[in-house]
């Protein structure tokens, strides 16, 4: 018989682990920061457009409708798409971290204080990190055909920070190498 205390203890342990992971992600900064005018100009959400459709259920529906369809075909497609999607997530995460680090440098080098930008930056980092963790969980379940994954919110957070950086860098600091 399972003790009634085991379930709350397991839930609390999982929440503590998620909190520790979130704190680690927020405190770690990307050490390679290619803040150049070219990098900022090339930085775009367009590179993540294929990601938006990669896990679309229409492809799986099409596959199921084909003669000779076998469930292992769907499993294989899901596994392949999951790995590709994870690659996109890693790139999105790296780009987001670079943008945030660049914004922190801009704030540090600025002659005027920007508490509003600091507040927005912290809020967006928390939202992005928690959204990224939730996306990884949903991606795990997608792999087994249990749920769908939507990354529009993550891409929008990234885009907002990217636009903020683009507006601040030319006026706030010289281009760094």
Name the residue ranges covered by the structural domains of the chain: 6-172
Structure tokens at 80: 């392949």
What pLDDT, on a 0 to 100 scale, did the predictor assign at position 155? Answer: 94
pLDDT digit string (tens) for the chain, length 177 residues: 566 777 777 777 777 777 777 666 655 544 445 566 677 777 888 889 889 888 888 888 888 898 988 889 888 888 999 999 999 999 999 999 999 988 888 888 878 887 888 899 999 999 999 999 999 999 999 988 888 899 999 999 999 999 988 888 764 444 444
Residue appearing with tokens 């704190």: 23
Q: Is the pTM of this model over 0.95?
A: no
Residues 6 or more apart whose Cβ sits within 8 Å of residue 127: 153, 157
What pLDDT, on a 0 to 100 scale, did the predictor assign at position 54? Answer: 87
Contact 125, 100 (CB under 8 A): yes
What pLDDT, on a 0 to 100 scale, did the predictor assign at position 1? Answer: 54
């Amino acid at each position: 018989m399972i003790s009634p205390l085991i379930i709350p203890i397991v839930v609390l342990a999982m929440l503590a682990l998620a909190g520790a992971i979130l704190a680690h992600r927020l405190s770690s900064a990307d050490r390679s920061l290619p803040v150049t005018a070219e990098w900022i100009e090339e930085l775009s959400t367009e590179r993540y457009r294929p990601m938006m459709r990669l896990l679309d259920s229409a492809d799986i529906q099409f596959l199921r409708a084909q003669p000779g369809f076998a469930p292992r075909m769907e499993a294989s497609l899901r596994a392949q798409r999951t790995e590709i999607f994870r690659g996109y997530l890693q790139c999105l995460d790296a780009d987001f971290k670079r943008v945030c680090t660049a914004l922190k440098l801009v704030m540090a080098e600025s002659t005027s204080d920007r508490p509003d930008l600091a507040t927005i930056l912290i809020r967006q980092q928390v939202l992005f990190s928690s959204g990224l963790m939730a996306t990884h969980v949903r991606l795990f379940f997608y792999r087994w055909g249990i749920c769908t994954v939507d990354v529009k919110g993550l891409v929008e957070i990234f885009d907002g920070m990217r636009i903020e950086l683009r507006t601040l860098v030319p006026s706030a600091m010289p281009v760094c190498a």
